[in-house]
């Protein structure tokens, strides 16, 4: 049934006006000219026409051309759009900031602020949607979870899959599920209007996307819809692809982006110390280049970002009064919301913004005002090492296409400059494209999702790029080890429980284990998992002097059992802090920013455990300072999930993994660094020069061998 206030003609925005406070309407009106100036604006009618006749649209356009913000607004008043529009994002940051932006542009409240809110978002551990949400930005993971609950996606009129070029595993799964859905292979419930699928990408690999959906079309028709959605400027090749596509009810549309020339500057010699080089260039630019003109620096992760942030602030303190100010703003996935939002705010008077970002800012988030880009040429990526059977985080050179995207960020509003912290030769040796995640990462979560959604034959799932059989089998085995699958390969009770949590199967398994009556340490484990959801709760310190000072201050938090219990104590103390948490953090060299995120995740996980009936309502304060027995129970749970990440000490004092026989060393960031114990369990493998185990705890060797024996 259609909502009563639904009209098919004219914009409905004016209708809402009566219920909306004037400041929202004022903002909406102020933003309208900005929207109209976006490259996608003139294509609105073409896009609407395309979706009138076709159910699938592949839309390509440079980052910043207005795809994510405008497309849902173009569609919201279409006659077929009686329900909500879902727009997926690879990252939380983007989902939230886009929802805010679109709410502003529509003059609407946001999310759960008001029952009348038209725009909302749903990200892991944070749901801000209401009964009248019509435009919903959500992370890919959240859409997958919704797909588990409602395979026909009957709550949506359209699903927009954005940032497809990033090719996350989740996007590949979503595309596979949607392809099955639109071909009617799956139980498409009786819908008044067929589900519209819009696939959006910043880099044009239209051909393979069209082919992917085309192959799935049951009965291609040669009928040409009115208003062929091809822009005049579209290249011949694209027009060709498009006309084929039209024949099978798929449209394509291409939006030309705005791009000013960007000058590229390479380093004459390669460097390892990007932080130092970036710092130098930032201050050179700041002294030399006129304002306005913000600087965007691409770094690898939270650690390097916070390190550089600190250095900039230290140096900026020493600047003369007559020099404009510098404002360093970090941007990474685990950043709390209010900090993310600061990126979009204009810089204060006589201040230059320096945004320190991970590859989030490559395409996901468009930061206005940037004229200078500094690119370290690396990013941290997840890589599954088949031979070792382990997934690790590696700092790797980016691809040429990523480097080009990064550079492009400098030329959106005016001519810009891009400083590459590598040599031209270095650039020439980069891969052309980034390898899709599905071809290089651990597939166990993906497969668990598929199993939970009733896909039994994962080897024959429609993948845009088929992962190697070996990788699929490894993942199946891993799930079997976690007891998430039964011997026959179907999903088990435990597997179903795990699949309901937005966690990796490993962490999900830890959680499920902790809820068992004989373990009884769920609250503690939730605290630890929450702390593991951020890159680092402890501040990363650069100078030796500061490091020593921090060691001293944190000593009271350290536990001899290792990092997991240390994290537990840190979270518990922080949560129990009554006076001033910020001061407590400063005193212990703990990142207040990270802890805010941790507390939010903790709350959400507790709520989810209550929904799953693993936890009762009165049960929300974990016992401070866990007893010996409880500590052992917690570590036994960790071990149950992380059984592939265990190592034993060799006679020569080195550690070797039990499954894989790989040499690892305890990472210097661990409280166990330098200690010799009989066996360890750890969270992740980091390769920097050698193989490091990060997030480490002591376990008894006979426990490990017992679990290993049981599953082998
Ligand atoms: P695309 O999806 O094509 O990359 P977007 O729709 O994300 O483009 O962005 C269009 C424009 O809207 C950009 O110029 C960007 O600066 C602006 N914009 C997007 N999100 C925000 C935000 N949260 N705050 C301010 N401006 C934003």
What DSSP element (H or E) covers 524? Answer: helix 522-532
Ligand 1 pocket check for 100: Cβ under 6 Å: yes
Ligand 1 pocket check for 38: Cβ under 6 Å: yes
CA 365 to ligand 1 centroid distance, Å: 7
184 pLDDT tier (thresholds 50, 70, 90): low
Ligand 1 atom with minimal separation from the 65 CA: 3
Ligand 1 pocket check for 67: Cβ under 6 Å: yes
502 pLDDT tier (thresholds 50, 70, 90): confident
499 token code pair: 């699949």
Ligand 1 pocket check for 63: Cβ under 6 Å: yes
Task: Tell me the DSSP string of 2-30.
Answer: --TT--SSS-SHHHHGGGS-HHHHHHHHH
CA 367 to ligand 1 centroid distance, Å: 8
Which residues is 59 bridged to in the sheet?
200, 253
Ligand 1 atom with minimal separation from the 367 CA: 16
- Residue 69 confidence (pLDDT) above 80: yes
Ligand 1 pocket check for 366: Cβ under 6 Å: yes
CA 91 to ligand 1 centroid distance, Å: 15
- Residue 552 confidence (pLDDT) above 60: yes
CA 676 to ligand 1 centroid distance, Å: 52
CA 659 to ligand 1 centroid distance, Å: 46
385 pLDDT tier (thresholds 50, 70, 90): low
Please report the pLDDT score of residue 110 as a whole number. 84
| 8 Å CB contact between 274 and 307 | no
CA 79 to ligand 1 centroid distance, Å: 26
Ligand 1 pocket check for 368: Cβ under 6 Å: yes
Q: Which of 196-200, 215-219, 549-553, 653-657 has the lowest mean pLDDT?
A: 215-219
The predicted model gives 426-446 an average pLDDT of 90
Pocket test for ligand 1, best of 59, 101, 121 (most atoms within 8 A of CB): 101
291 pLDDT tier (thresholds 50, 70, 90): confident
CA 155 to ligand 1 centroid distance, Å: 26
Please report the pLDDT score of residue 410 as a whole number. 92
| 8 Å CB contact between 147 and 453 | yes
- Residue 615 confidence (pLDDT) above 70: yes
The predicted model gives 500-525 an average pLDDT of 92
Ligand 1 atom with minimal separation from the 257 CA: 3
| 8 Å CB contact between 419 and 429 | no
Q: Which residues contact 132 (CB under 8 A, 6 or more apart)?
A: 115, 116, 117, 118
Pocket test for ligand 1, best of 44, 60, 64, 70 (most atoms within 8 A of CB): 64
Helices 581-588 and 544-554: crossing angle in degrees, nearest 10, is: 120
Ligand 1 atom with minimal separation from the 97 CA: 23
113 or 556: which leads in pLDDT:
556
156 or 501: which leads in pLDDT:
156
pLDDT in tens, 299-339: 998 888 989 999 999 999 888 888 999 999 999 877 777 78
- Residue 159 confidence (pLDDT) above 90: yes
| 353 three-class SS | strand
State the residue for tokens 């690790």.
Answer: 392
Ligand 1 pocket check for 66: Cβ under 6 Å: yes
- What percent of the chain is predicted at pLDDT more than 90? 52
Q: Which of 32, 42, 300, 59 is nearest to 163 (CA)?
A: 59
CA 341 to ligand 1 centroid distance, Å: 13
376 or 453: which leads in pLDDT:
376
173 pLDDT tier (thresholds 50, 70, 90): very high
Please report the pLDDT score of residue 13 as a whole number. 45
633 token code pair: 């129970």
The predicted model gives 599-622 an average pLDDT of 83
CA 154 to ligand 1 centroid distance, Å: 29
Return mean pLDDT, the chain: 86
CA 344 to ligand 1 centroid distance, Å: 9
Smallest CA separation from ligand 1 atom 15, residue: 366
CA 77 to ligand 1 centroid distance, Å: 21
- Residue 481 confidence (pLDDT) above 80: yes
CA 99 to ligand 1 centroid distance, Å: 11
Ligand 1 pocket check for 61: Cβ under 6 Å: yes
Ligand 1 atom with minimal separation from the 341 CA: 23
Please report the pLDDT score of residue 91 as a whole number. 86
As a whole number of Å, the end-to-end CA separation of the chain is 54
- Residue 44 confidence (pLDDT) above 90: yes
CA 531 to ligand 1 centroid distance, Å: 31
The predicted model gives 426-452 an average pLDDT of 90
217 pLDDT tier (thresholds 50, 70, 90): low
Ligand 1 pocket check for 369: Cβ under 6 Å: no
The predicted model gives 520-529 an average pLDDT of 94
Please report the pLDDT score of residue 416 as a whole number. 95
Ligand 1 atom with minimal separation from the 200 CA: 2
Please report the pLDDT score of residue 206 as a whole number. 85
| Rounded Cα–Cα distance for residues 463 and 459 (Å) | 9
> Where is mean pLDDT largest: 181-190, 315-324, 418-427?
418-427
CA 415 to ligand 1 centroid distance, Å: 19
Ligand 1 atom with minimal separation from the 363 CA: 4
Is the peptide bond prior to 292 cis by the omega test (within 30 degrees of 0)? Answer: yes
- Residue 644 confidence (pLDDT) above 80: yes
CA 66 to ligand 1 centroid distance, Å: 6
Ligand 1 pocket check for 364: Cβ under 6 Å: no
- Which class for 173: exposed (0-12), middle (13-18), buried (19 or more C-beta within 10 A)? buried
Q: How many CB atoms lie within 10 A of CB 510?
A: 28
Please report the pLDDT score of residue 15 as a whole number. 44
CA 575 to ligand 1 centroid distance, Å: 36
CA 622 to ligand 1 centroid distance, Å: 42
Q: Which of 201-205, 229-233, 539-543, 585-589 has the lowest mean pLDDT?
A: 229-233
Pocket test for ligand 1, best of 61, 69, 94 (most atoms within 8 A of CB): 69
State the residue for tokens 């392809």.
Answer: 179
Ligand 1 pocket check for 69: Cβ under 6 Å: yes
Q: Which of 331, 271, 343 is nearest to 300 (CA)?
A: 331
CA 97 to ligand 1 centroid distance, Å: 9
Please report the pLDDT score of residue 346 as a whole number. 84
Ligand 1 pocket check for 101: Cβ under 6 Å: yes
pLDDT in tens, 91-133: 888 899 899 999 999 999 887 778 788 999 998 878 899 888 9
293 or 113: which leads in pLDDT:
293
Pocket test for ligand 1, best of 60, 61, 66, 102 (most atoms within 8 A of CB): 66
Please report the pLDDT score of residue 231 as a whole number. 36
Please report the pLDDT score of residue 300 as a whole number. 92
Please report the pLDDT score of residue 390 as a whole number. 55
Smallest CA separation from ligand 1 atom 21, residue: 101
Please report the pLDDT score of residue 711 as a whole number. 77
Please report the pLDDT score of residue 361 as a whole number. 85
Ligand 1 atom with minimal separation from the 70 CA: 6
The predicted model gives 625-651 an average pLDDT of 92
Ligand 1 pocket check for 98: Cβ under 6 Å: yes
Q: Quote the strand ranges of 220-293, DSSP E.
A: 250-255, 262-266
CA 334 to ligand 1 centroid distance, Å: 20
Q: Which of 124, 428, 402, 64 is nearest to 260 (CA)?
A: 64
| 8 Å CB contact between 62 and 257 | yes
Task: Supply the ipTM of this predicted assembly.
Answer: 0.98
Ligand 1 pocket check for 65: Cβ under 6 Å: yes
Smallest CA separation from ligand 1 atom 27, residue: 101
């Amino acid at each position: 049934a259609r909502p009563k206030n639904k009209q098919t003609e004219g914009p409905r925005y004016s209708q809402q006006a009566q219920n909306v406070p004037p400041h929202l309407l004022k903002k909406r009106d102020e933003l309208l000219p900005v929207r109209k100036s976006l490259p996608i604006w003139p294509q609105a009618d073409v896009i609407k026409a395309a979706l009138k006749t076709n159910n699938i649209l592949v839309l390509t356009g440079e980052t910043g051309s207005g795809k994510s913000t405008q497309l849902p607004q173009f569609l919201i008043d279409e006659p077929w759009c009686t329900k909500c529009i879902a727009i997926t994002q690879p990252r939380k940051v983007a989902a939230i900031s886009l929802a805010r932006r679109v709410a502003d542009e529509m003059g609407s409240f946001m999310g759960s602020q008001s029952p009348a809110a038209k725009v909302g978002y749903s990200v892991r551990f944070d749901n801000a949607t209401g009964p009248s949400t019509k435009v919903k930005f959500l992370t890919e993971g959240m859409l997958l979870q919704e797909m588990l609950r409602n395979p026909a996606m009957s709550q949506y009129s359209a699903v927009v899959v954005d940032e497809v070029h990033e090719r996350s595993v989740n996007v590949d799964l979503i595309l596979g599920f949607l392809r099955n859905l639109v071909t009617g292979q799956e139980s498409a419930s009786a819908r008044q209007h067929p589900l519209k699928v819009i696939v959006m990408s910043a880099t044009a690999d239209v051909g393979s996307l069209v082919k992917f959906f085309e192959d799935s079309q049951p009965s291609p028709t040669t009928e040409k819809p009115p208003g062929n959605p091809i822009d005049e400027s579209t290249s011949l090749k694209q027009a060709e692809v498009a006309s084929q596509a039209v024949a099978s009810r798929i449209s394509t549309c291409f939006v030309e982006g705005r791009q000013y020339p960007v000058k590229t500057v390479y380093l004459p010699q390669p460097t390892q110390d990007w932080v130092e080089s970036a710092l130098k260039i930032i201050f050179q630019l700041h002294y030399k280049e006129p304002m306005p003109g913000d600087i965007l620096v691409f770094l690898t992760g939270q650690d390097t970002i916070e390190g550089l942030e600190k250095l900039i602030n230290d140096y900026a303190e020493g600047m003369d009064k007559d020099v404009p100010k510098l404002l360093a703003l970090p941007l990474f996935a685990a950043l709390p919301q209010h900090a993310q939002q600061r990126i979009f705010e204009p810089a204060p008077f006589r201040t230059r913004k320096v945004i320190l970002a991970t590859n989030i800012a490559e395409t996901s988030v468009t930061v206005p005002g940037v004229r200078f880009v500094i690119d370290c040429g690396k990013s941290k990526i997840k890589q599954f090492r088949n031979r070792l059977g382990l997934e690790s985080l590696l700092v790797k050179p980016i691809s040429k296409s990523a480097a080009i995207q990064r550079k492009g960020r400098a030329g959106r509003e005016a001519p810009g400059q891009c400083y590459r912290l590598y040599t031209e030769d270095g650039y020439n040796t980069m891969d052309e494209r980034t390898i899709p995640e599905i071809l290089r990462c651990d597939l166990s979560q993906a497969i668990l999702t598929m199993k939970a959604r009733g896909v039994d034959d994962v080897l024959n799932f429609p993948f845009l790029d088929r992962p190697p059989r070996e990788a699929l089998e490894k993942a199946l085995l891993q799930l079997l080890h976690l007891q998430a699958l039964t011997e026959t390969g179907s999903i088990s009770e435990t597997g179903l429980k795990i699949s309901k949590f937005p966690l990796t199967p490993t962490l999900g398994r830890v959680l499920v284990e902790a809820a068992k009556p004989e373990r009884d340490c769920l609250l503690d484990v939730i605290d630890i998992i929450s702390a593991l959801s951020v890159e680092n709760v402890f501040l990363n310190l650069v100078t030796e002097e500061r490091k020593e000072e921090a060691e001293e201050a944190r000593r009271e938090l350290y536990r001899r059992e290792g990092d997991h219990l240390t994290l537990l104590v840190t979270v518990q103390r922080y949560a129990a802090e009554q006076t001033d948490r910020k001061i407590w953090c400063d005193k212990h060299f703990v990142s207040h920013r990270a802890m805010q995120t941790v507390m939010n995740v903790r709350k959400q996980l507790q709520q989810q455990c209550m929904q799953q009936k693993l936890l009762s309502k009165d049960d929300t304060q974990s016992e401070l300072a866990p007893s010996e027995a409880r500590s052992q129970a917690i570590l036994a749970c960790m071990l149950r999930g992380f059984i592939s990440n265990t190592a034993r000490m060799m006679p020569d004092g080195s550690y070797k993994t039990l499954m894989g026989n790989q040499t690892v060393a305890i990472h210097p960031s661990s409280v166990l660094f330098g200690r010799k114990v009989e066996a360890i369990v750890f969270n992740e493998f980091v390769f920097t020069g050698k193989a490091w185990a990060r997030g480490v705890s002591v376990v008894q060797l006979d426990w490990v061998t017992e679990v290993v024996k049981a599953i082998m």
